[in-house]
Amino acid sequence: MALKSRILFIGGTGYIGKYIVKASVLAGHPTFVLVRESTLSSASKEQVMETFKSLNVNFIIRFFPSEFANDVDHVHTVEPAKTLFATKAKIRRVVEAEGIPYTYVTSNFFSGYFLPTISQIGASAPPTDTVIILGDGNPKGKDRVFIET
């Protein structure tokens, strides 16, 4: 029998990651999840962590800054995200200028997360009469893949 690949997940306790981690284990792969120490005892992650423990998932504890969506150096957006992304980009520049070793990992955008509300900020269900379009409604999209070290 061939050996299965060892797989490391970053974001394995998240919205989609928890399902992919479980599938990896059930497929027979030695599975590792990078987590913060606080995640191990987080009340909101308790069920996910218990499931992982019962499946013998291996935890690697390490601080890893998260982008939670788009790569701030390669995205063009409108407010309020524009200001938030500019702040994150400034933090990157400081890390780089100080010579701190870094790896940027961005998950990019998962559209399904915003589809139920059609990206309406603060909405809990799809709008029935009005939709707010940010910007001028004519953004240009680009497909890009970036790996930075």
**Contact status, residue 75 vs residue 107, Cβ threshold 8 Å:** no
Q: Which two tokens stand for residue 60?
A: 């690697």
For residues 21 and 105, give the distance between their C-alpha atoms in angstroms, rounded to a whole number.
18
The answer for residues whose C-beta is within 8 angstroms of residue 134's C-beta and 6 or more apart is 78, 79
Looking at residue 148, its pLDDT comes to 44
Which position among 53, 82, 88, 140 bears the catalytic label? 88
* 101 upstream amide cis, omega within 30 of 0: no
Nearest C-alpha neighbor of 34 from the set 16, 55, 17: 17
**Residue 69 — left, alpha, or beta (φ > 0 → left; ψ -120 to 50 → alpha)?**
left
Looking at residue 66, its pLDDT comes to 59
* Domain boundaries of the chain, sorted by first residue: 7-61, 65-149
Residue the block writes with tokens 């559209």: 111
Task: For the chain, list residues with pLDDT below 50.
Answer: 144-149
Residue the block writes with tokens 């004519």: 138
Count Cβ atoms below 10 Å from residue 35 Cβ, excluding itself.
Answer: 24
Give the pairing of strands 58-61 and 31-35: parallel
Looking at residue 46, its pLDDT comes to 94
Looking at residue 126, its pLDDT comes to 76
Does the active-site annotation cover 142? Answer: no
